Structure 1
Amino acid sequence: MTYRTATLLLSLALSAPPALAATPNDTLVIQQAAGISTLDPSATYDTFSAQMVENIYETLWTYKGSSLTLMTPLLASTLPTYTNGGKTLVVSLRPGVKFHSGNTMSCADAEYTYRRDLVTNSPDSANWFISDALLGSTQNAHDNKSVTWAKIAGAVKCNAQGQLVFTLAKVDPAFMAKMTFAGMGVIDKQWAVKQGEWDGSEKTWQAWIGKDLSGSPLSLRPSGTGAYTLVRSDATGVFLRAFSDYWGAKPSIKNVVMQKVGELAVRQQAFLRGDADLIEVGTRANVEAQLKDKPGVVVLDNLPTTSAQALFMNNDITPSPALGSGKLDGQGIPPNFFSDVNIRKAFALSFDDGTFIKGVQSGKGSPRTMLLPDSFPGYSAQTKTYPFDVAAATTYFKKAWGGEVWSKGFVINARYRTGHTLGQTALELLKQNVEAINPKFRINIGVEPWSEQSVKFQKGEEVMLPMGWSADYADPDNFMYTFYSSKGYFYASNHWKDAQVDQWLDQARATTDAARRSQLYKQVADRAYQQSVFVVLPADLNIRAVRSNLQGVSAATYNPMRSFSFTGTFLRELSKR
């Protein structure tokens, strides 16, 4: 098939996803419920964008095979080692690497990349976690006046030998892991400046502080070093083509199409026909009922997971129509409804882990004590959990808000993301149990696209939200700080704050003593249990469905830190027969 024919076929595929023909061997078709937010690495912070970005751009190093702790060089020629008491890394770069633009990668590109991350750092990007390591602050220069150009330039710079030098503001046990995140891919400086991006100079840096890059020129016209280059991106999906000058082994898959297909049933039918090679499959129960043992389908089960799921209860909801009446009068709820710990405990006791594990996880789940994968160091198996207990839940509902909740009732408007079947099921199960306790209790469940939900929860407008987190980097800090710190990414969605917890989390970030870190994380988990901060959903093992002719996917090669593509591998490692 010629390139022109392939381009025409794939262009039609993007615009009309349900009407595909079976995919050719040099083409991979992925269908998922949500589209992408950006193709700019500096703005990438969601799974769907990272799925494409990690194949267009490349980081300095990545995980080795299926390991969550061992690293291997990527754009670095060798793995660096710490000097200066654990605060300096000197990185030698791989020579002769080409960007998609044709430019040759140099240290200046890497220097520009990470300085740009620090300059544009915002709560909507992943750059806060490297800013914290390199500058000693998660905030940008507008929000923290201690962040200066001198600090940024001193933290990331090229030496006389053309090596990239990172100088950390403090010891950070997770820094190497942080740098594997897909959004840390090296940017083509010359190309970026040509597109109208920041020129990398001290003279202009202030105009770019905290700038929203999600729709940047670089998002529309990226130039990375990855195995795939962008052909087209729009609201219907993304089309990538193999990069002919890729420095590594040439990929067998020449064309990659990601299609946005909201309906699970439509994705399933395309997958079963062979019109899609990989899809967002929904829950385990759905895979086992609809896809397992079907012709042309291989199901990989019992795969490791690096994610955590919970139902968030917002303690300080920003006024919006979701509050209904905005009062405790049976027609809505006040903004601080969940600030009463009795309410939070009542909801935790109303969730039936056993039914969820049996119905959604086919019996393979287990109650989780905290929002940290149990495969990670620091997980506390000794922390208590809330059982499903209707009588105890009733007692707490009667205590809440001095008895007014029980006498007046409430209406909660909860939302889940389009395609988030697990979250939908969790809400439906909770609704059934809560409404059975008191006829005055009502939970309305609705659906909204990720593009809308991501904005609402950052504004604090979501009331009760099922939300998951997949690790950006394989270190417990990524979960514990993200979920439990008042400076963490999810604070806007639950507004729970505890000064002692914040202190424990900061202490855990400042030590390389693994035993001490685990002790601190247990203290956080125990406090979160006492305060019933979240309804923590049971842990699950990953399950994946792939077409039987897709090669390069197996339990032995699956790395949950590279699961954006649903395969646990880079797309360049796949082939079809």
Structure 2
Amino acid sequence: MVYRTAALSLSLALLPSFALAATPKDTLVIQQAAGISTLDPSATYDTFSSQIVENIYETLWTYKGGSLTAMTPLLASSLPTFTNGGKTLVVSLRSGVKFQSGNAMSCADAEYTYRRDLVTNAPESANWFISDALLGSTKNAQDNKSITWAKIAAAVKCNAQNQLVFTLAKVDPAFMAKMTFSGMGVIDKQWAIKQGEWDGSEKTWQAWVGKDLSGSPLSVKPSGTGAYSLVKSDASGVFLQAFPGYWGAKPAIKNVVMQKVGELAVRQQAFLNGDADLIEAGTRANVEAQLKGRPGVVVLDNLPTTSAQALFMNNNIKPSAALGSGKLDGKGIPANFFSDADVRRAFALSFDDSRFIKDVQSGKGSPRTMLLPDTFPGYSAQTKTYPFDPVAAKASFQKAWGGEVWKNGFVINAKYRTGHTLGQTALELLKQNVEAINPKFRINIGVEPWSEQSVKFQNGEEVMLPMGWGADYADPDNFMYTFYSSKGYFYVSNNWKDAQVDQWLDQARATTDAAQRNKLYKQVADRAYQQSVFVVLPADLNIRPIRSDLQGVSATNYNPMRSFSFTGTYLRELSKK
């Protein structure tokens, strides 16, 4: 078969010592649409990279089983508790832990790791959220001159007992959760310096401020404490092997092969043939139609989700060919097209939630009021939502830009990433409904690889695109600040700002009073509804197909906070019968 030939060539490229037909008992083969951006924890911020990084490196603690709130130690010997009014955290570290280089882990490695995060803190990384907690700013020293070496050194240091001491700049109710993020894995200091990374000193720190580490030497040659070490990584995928010196229980799966396979049909055939154990399987509708009930396949359903998705409408698009004519003349749109709330409201009223839930989610979805998982505290079920209403949508289009939108029409160039079937379908449904309102309206839908899209949306170049957020940590701040704050991660791609919303979000970050935080988040959700900031997509329950011989995955231990969302577990927890 043509597919088996393709699969064999991929396997040979990644596994020089042997080739795969059907996967062996000690080998796990995973296929997904996107590649890996980086293997440097300090630069890790996308799901595809995180799911590899969290198995090479380890954090100080992690979530316990399937819980979103209870935690258990990893590299810490026990869970610490805050002192000094919630601003100091003293962490005792596990002894006898070795890195994959053979170096022994010590407090100096942890100190180096988090100082490196604070020093570099590039826009492409997740380090802004610990910088905010430890230094009082999401910016690095290049963008915020009040950040000094003395502040960084005081925020993270080892005491005389070789304990790691965090000193927060302000109370942060989400700090413990933030430290579970896969990019917070402890780095091998000696190994990193040997590879040419920052030497950890005050003398050289300024040269590393804001440096993009995604292509760093440490990304090419990582050394963590995790159960798996890197053998090979290239454009076609990643090959990991079990680390024999791992301090914990030895994993049953010795080899892990992650292959980049863009076509869903090809991934599906590999899965059904037994050539792949896990795949990025597309939408629920696709899993139920193509995989459920097939020989050798088990489908886990009704699994919790900690993600939120929306169609973004960029209020201030960076000039590019995507704007067409760049004018409201029926041949394109101006850069500020979506800055008119009537335009945004018209699009929100043109999206058919019911059809999306039926066609994409097989009826297992529900409209969301805001971009926060409804399993999280702070979710407001009372906030209004926009129904599918073509008549009301027409009225909003007629009001937009003083009637010029209705009179002249527009051309919008919307993009989705390769393999993002849910996003593609959402755009297609919106396109059908919007173009039916006025023949002068046109939405062109295109596809682009994640490596290209991730750069373009962070540069503000995308016009309209489906984008989701998977929780970095199980706290509402991770979603609310990320989506709605003008200082949040997605601001540059949406460019919507409200001073009152910014104030509410800052207040929610500064208190541990749960009731007060919930009240503030409802106020943000209500304002976002009034302004039609996003087209919020319906919530879904996770569905995961796995090969029937794969063990260690169940509804009870599935944790949606794991970056490795195919199984909701660490790779070391898996085995085959």
TM-score range for the pair, normalised by the shorter chain length: over 0.9
Say whether the 8 Å CA contact 1:10–1:257 is kept in structure 2: no
Equivalent position amino acid for 2:297 in 1: V
- 2:373 aligns with 373
Q: Is the 8 A contact 2:10 2:236 kept in 1?
A: no
Q: How far, CA to CA, are the matches of 2:162 and 2:495 in structure 1?
A: 45
What SS does the aligned partner of 1:122 have?
Answer: coil
CA contact (8 A) 1:63 1:72 kept: yes
C-alpha separation in 2, matches of 1:117 and 1:66: 28
Please state how far the C-alpha of 1:123 moved relative to its aligned partner: 1.9
Q: Secondary structure at the match of 2:62?
A: strand
Residue equivalent to 1:444:
444
Secondary structure of the residue aligned to 1:246 is coil
- Matched residue of 2:540: which SS? coil
2:533, 2:90 → 1: CA distance? 41
Q: What is residue 5 of structure 1 aligned with on the other side?
A: none
Residues 77-88 of structure 1 mapped to structure 2, 5 A cutoff = 77-88=77-88
What SS does the corresponding residue of 1:118 show, helix, strand or coil? helix
Question: For residues 311-330 of structure 1, what are the structure 2 equivalents within 5 Å?
Answer: 311-330=311-330
Residues 322-367 of structure 1 deviation map (CA, whole Å, 9 limit, x = unaligned): 0000000000000000000000000000000000000000001000
Equivalents in 2 of 1:563, 1:98: separation in Å? 23
CA shift for structure 1 position 21: 1.1
Letter in 2 for 1:334: P
Shift of 1:86: 0.5
Q: Structure 1 runs of 4+ off > 2 angstroms?
A: 8-11, 13-16
Following superposition, the deviation at residue 565 of structure 1 comes to 4.4
Query: How far apart, in 1, do the equivalents of 2:445 and 2:147 lie?
Result: 43
Please give the alpha-carbon distance, in whole angstroms, between the structure 2 residues aligned to 1:307 and 1:187: 28
Alignment of 1:509 with 2:516, yes or no, is no
Secondary structure at 2:372 match in 1: coil
Secondary structure in structure 1 of the residue aligned to 2:488? coil
Give the structure 1 partner of residue 125 of structure 2. 125
Q: What is the letter of the counterpart of residue 303 of structure 2?
A: L
Percent of residue pairs identical: 87
Secondary structure at 1:346's aligned position in 2? helix
Would the aligned equivalents of 1:15 and 1:236 in 2 still touch at CA under 8 Å? Answer: no
Which residue of structure 2 lines up, in the alignment, with residue 407 of structure 1?
Answer: 407
Q: Output the CA distance in 2 between the equivalents of 1:133 and 1:481.
A: 14
Question: What SS is found at the alignment partner of 2:104?
Answer: coil
* Aligned residue pair count: 568
- How far residue 11 of structure 1 moved from its aligned partner, in angstroms, is 5.0
Residue matched to 2:5: none
Asked whether the 8 Å contact 2:413–2:444 carries over to 1, the reply is: yes
The one-letter code of the counterpart of 1:341 is A
Give how far 1:433 is off.
Answer: 0.2
Structure 1 CA distance for aligned equivalents of residues 569 and 484 of structure 2: 30
CA contact (8 A) 1:394 1:437 kept: yes
The 1:11–1:229 alpha-carbon spacing in structure 2 relative to 1, beyond 3 Å, is same
1:428 aligns with 2:428: yes
CA distance, structure 2, for counterparts of residue 168 and residue 282 of structure 1: 41
Mapping 1:211-290, distance limit 5 Å:
211-290=211-290
Q: Aligned AA for 2:89?
A: L
User: How far does residue 20 in structure 1 lie from its aligned partner after superposition?
Assistant: 5.0
Corresponding residue of 2:4? none
Amino acid at match of 1:264: L
SS at match of 1:562: coil
**Alignment deviations for residues 484-532 of structure 1 (CA, whole Å, 9 cap, x no partner):** 0000000011100000000000000000000000000000000000000
* Aligned mates of 2:303, 2:336 — CA distance in 1: 40
Which one-letter code corresponds to 1:298 in the other structure?
A: V
Q: Distance in 2 between matches of 1:177 and 1:459?
A: 29
3-state DSSP of counterpart to 2:365: coil
Instruction: After TM superposition, give the deviation of residue 559 of structure 1 in Å.
Output: 0.4
1:292-331 matches, within 5 Å, as 292-331=292-331
Distance 1:69 1:302 in 2: 20
CA distance in 1, matches of 2:542, 2:506: 31
SS of residue matched to 2:539: coil
Q: Which residue of 2 is the match for residue 28 of structure 1?
A: 28
Q: Residues 47 and 210 from structure 1, CA distance in 2 versus in 1: closer, same or farther, beyond 3 angstroms?
A: same
SS at match of 1:560: coil
In structure 2, the partner of 1:361 is: 361
Shift of the 105–343 alpha-carbon distance from structure 1 to 2, 3 Å rule, reads same
Residues 1:555 and 2:541 are matched in the alignment: no
Relative to structure 2, which stretch is displaced further, 110-119 or 563-572? 563-572
Counterpart for residue 110 of structure 2: 110
C-alpha distance in structure 2 between counterparts of 1:228 and 1:535, whole Å: 40
Which SS does the other structure have where 2:366 is aligned? Answer: coil
3-state DSSP class of the match of 2:561?
A: helix
Higher mean alpha-carbon deviation, 116-125 vs 216-225, is at 116-125
Residue 574 (1) aligns with residue 560 (2) = no
Give the Cα separation in 1 of the matches to 2:75 and 2:526: 41
Partner of 1:4: none
Instruction: Give CA deviations for 1:169-213 in whole Å, capped at 9, x if unaligned.
Output: 000000000000000000000000000000000000000000010
Aligned AA (2:185): G
Contact 1:97 1:246 in 2 (8 A): yes
Equivalent residues of 2:315, 2:494 under 8 A apart: yes
The residue type equivalent to 2:210 in the other structure is G
Alpha carbons 1:285, 1:362 under 8 Å: kept: yes
Whole-angstrom distance in 2 between the partners of 1:557 and 1:485: 33
Give the CA deviation at 1:13: 5.4
TM-score (norm 2): 0.97
| SS state at 2:218 partner | helix
In structure 1, give the amino acid aligned to 2:157: K
CA contact 2:324–2:331 (8 Å) conserved in 1: yes
Q: Deviations over 1:256-285 (max 9, x none)?
A: 000000000000000000000000011000
Q: d(CA) in 1 for partners of 2:13 and 2:263?
A: 16
Superposed displacement of residue 113, structure 1: 0.1
CA contact (8 A) 1:377 1:518 kept: yes
Q: Distance in 2 between matches of 1:517 and 1:282?
A: 35
Q: Letter of the 1:80 partner, please give it.
A: P
SS at match of 2:382: coil
Q: Residue 9 of structure 1: CA displacement? A: 9.0
**Aligned mates of 1:563, 1:129 — CA distance in 2:** 17
Unpaired segments ≥5 residues, structure 2 = 1-7
Kept in 2: contact 1:62–1:74 (CA 8 A): yes
Letter in 2 for 1:516: Q
Indicate whether 1:172 and 2:167 are aligned.
Answer: no
Task: State the AA in 2 paired with 1:91.
Answer: V
User: Are positions 1:498 and 2:483 aligned together?
Assistant: no
Tell me what 2:479 maps to. 479
Q: Is the 8 A contact 2:15 2:239 kept in 1?
A: no
Deviations 1:377-397 (A, max 9, x none): 000000000000000000000
- Once the 2 structures are TM-superposed, how far is the Cα of residue 70 of structure 1 from its aligned partner? 0.4
| Structure 2 counterpart of 1:464 | 464
Which residue of structure 2 lines up, in the alignment, with residue 3 of structure 1?
none
Alignment RMSD: 1.2
Find the aligned partners of 1:565 and 1:534 in 2 and give their Cα distance: 25
Give the direction of change, closer, same or farther, for the CA distance of 1:249–1:284 in structure 2 (3 Å limit).
Answer: same
Task: Say which SS state the counterpart of residue 443 (structure 1) adopts.
Answer: strand
Q: Which amino acid aligns with 2:99?
A: F
> How far 1:14 sits from its partner (Å)?
3.6
Which residue is equivalent to 1:91?
91
The CA distance in 1 between the partners of 2:257 and 2:406, in whole Å, is: 52
State how far apart, in whole Å, the 1-side matches of 2:565 and 2:407 are: 49
Q: Which residue of 2 aligns with 1:72?
A: 72
Q: Deviations over 1:434-467 (max 9, x none)?
A: 0000000000000000000010001100000100
Alignment check: 8 A CA contact 1:242 1:253 kept? yes
Aligned to 2:417: 417
